[in-house]
Amino acid sequence: MVSWFSRLVVSMTIRMPRWFVRWVSRRYVAGPNLADAVNVMTRLKKEGACFTIDVLGEEITTFDEALDFYNEYVNVISAIAENKLDANISIKPTAFGIHIDYEQGAALIEKLTTYANQHQMFVRLDMEDHRVTDDTINIVIDLHKKGIKNVGTVLQGRLHRTLGDIETLREKLGSDADYRICKGIYLEPGNIAYTGYAEIVHATNKAIDTMFDAGAYVGIATHDKPVILHTMEKLNQLNMGPGKNDTREHAGSIRQGKGPGYEFQMLLGVRGPLRRKLLKEGHRVRVYIPYGEKWYEYSIRRLKENPTIGTHVAKAFLMPWTNRP
């Protein structure tokens, strides 16, 4: 359940002037420009972190906007290469127009993924709400069929369908399956998703177990200690972890820019001390770096879609020393 305090903080924040929202969001969004994202990564790479870059924006209305996103991601790939950053990219399928024209959007995603592959770079298809779940998974499967394997998707632990999606991808992709698993930011209806915190955590942990047992590469995207502790237990059970080879029976080979079968992933500005602790222990930790001119829309949407963020906002504002970025 979302606390009344968290809802109050969100309600107040989204009504504040734009400059205040920018002050709040600067902790979680690199800035409006690619140079801002590069600066943040240059600073954080000293900790040993790696990165995934997301150009903010989705739900476009014309295919010309999709082409703009394609061109910006080409610039991102060039910047990663030029600055020798340990980074890959995350894209939202709707930003590439799959809801306008699926075939055109999928073709544009294929073009970008092929270009990224030429630079030994991985592409993550972000998972949006349930309306595009099937399309997102199908694009990944189709690209792998074409031999374009530097691509994987995100699955949300809260959805009832997730274990079935893992099985489908295991059958289609085998050890080439590559996931980011998260609880899920979208507050989906109760007939298709778990809604209570405990059951969402339980479902997410079960998905993590299933992914590991299938031999897939698993990116555990979470700031929740119960999920991290469960993952640690699973790693110990499988004899995986820092300094160890991935000896799972069905595991694939180590991929460019990846760890030995798994990595942790965290949002920029959230639970920095925990991120540094995991890095110090030797785990591979990837930081999600969003940037773009749509920072305001992104910030407001995140607050509205998941009011639990209000607690993080209040803590960052009132007790910034407890959560250094």
* Out of 125-134, 156-165, 249-258, least confident range: 249-258
Q: How many CB atoms sit inside 10 A of residue 116's CB?
A: 23
Residue 304 pLDDT grade (very low, low, confident, very high; cuts 50, 70, 90) = low
The number of C-alpha atoms within 13 Å of 308 and in the hemisphere containing its C-beta is: 14
What share of the chain has pLDDT > 70, as a percent?
82
What average pLDDT does range 229-256 have in this prediction? 91
Residue 25 pLDDT grade (very low, low, confident, very high; cuts 50, 70, 90) = low
- pLDDT of res. 82: 96
Domains of the chain: 1-27+307-325 (no CATH), 30-291 (3.20.20.220)
Statement: residue 1 has pLDDT above 70: no
* Out of 85-94, 96-105, 316-325, least confident range: 316-325
Statement: residue 185 has pLDDT above 80: no
Q: For residues 220 and 271, which has the higher predicted lDDT (pLDDT)?
A: 220
Highest mean pLDDT: which range of 83-92, 254-263, 294-303: 83-92
Residue 236, amino acid: N
| Nearest-angstrom CA–CA distance, 40 and 57 | 20
Packing angle between helix 295-305 and helix 18-25, nearest 10 degrees?
80
Q: How many CB atoms sit inside 10 A of residue 42's CB?
A: 11
Mean pLDDT across the chain, nearest whole number?
87
Statement: residue 187 has pLDDT above 80: no
Closest CA to 74 of 105, 112, 109: 112
CA 64 to chain CA centroid, Å, is: 25
Task: Name the residue with tokens 């997102």.
Answer: 136
- pLDDT of res. 270: 83
Alpha carbon distances (Å) from 75 to 71, 126, 158, 320 = 6, 19, 34, 34
Q: Any residues with CB less than 8 A from the CB of 60 and at least 6 apart, and which?
A: 66, 69, 94, 95, 97, 100
| Nearest-angstrom CA–CA distance, 301 and 132 | 18
What average pLDDT does range 99-109 have in this prediction? 96
Residue 302 pLDDT grade (very low, low, confident, very high; cuts 50, 70, 90) = low
Q: For residues 68 and 10, which has the higher predicted lDDT (pLDDT)?
A: 68
Q: How many CB atoms sit inside 10 A of residue 183's CB?
A: 20
Q: For residues 286 and 312, which has the higher predicted lDDT (pLDDT)?
A: 286
**pTM, whole model, 2 decimals?**
0.87
- pLDDT of res. 288: 95
* Out of 213-222, 226-235, 265-274, least confident range: 265-274
Residue 249 pLDDT grade (very low, low, confident, very high; cuts 50, 70, 90) = confident
Report the C-alpha dihedral over residues 203, 206, 208, 212, rounded to 10 degrees.
-160
Q: For residues 162 and 58, which has the higher predicted lDDT (pLDDT)?
A: 162
Q: According to the 3-state scheme, what is the secondary structure of the chain?
A: CCCHHHHHHHHHHCCCCHHHHHHHHCCCCCCCCHHHHHHHHHHHHHHCCEEEEEECCCCCCCHHHHHHHHHHHHHHHHHHHHCCCCEEEEECHHHHCCCCCHHHHHHHHHHHHHHHHHCCCCEEECCCCHHHHHHHHHHHHHHHHCCCCCEEEEEECCECCHHHHHHHHHHHHHHHCEEEEECCCCCCCCCCECCCHHHHHHHHHHHHHHHHHCCCEEEEECCCHHHHHHHHHHHHHCCCCCCCCCCCCCCCCCCCCCCCCEEEEEECCCCHHHHHHHHHCCCCEEEEEEECCCHHHHHHHHHHHCCCHHHHHHHHHHCHHHCCC
Q: How many CB atoms sit inside 10 A of residue 304's CB?
A: 13
Highest mean pLDDT: which range of 3-7, 21-25, 260-264, 317-321: 260-264
What share of the chain has pLDDT > 90, as a percent?
67
Tokens of 75: 């610039």
Strands 262-267 and 50-55 turn out to be unpaired
Statement: residue 57 has pLDDT above 80: no
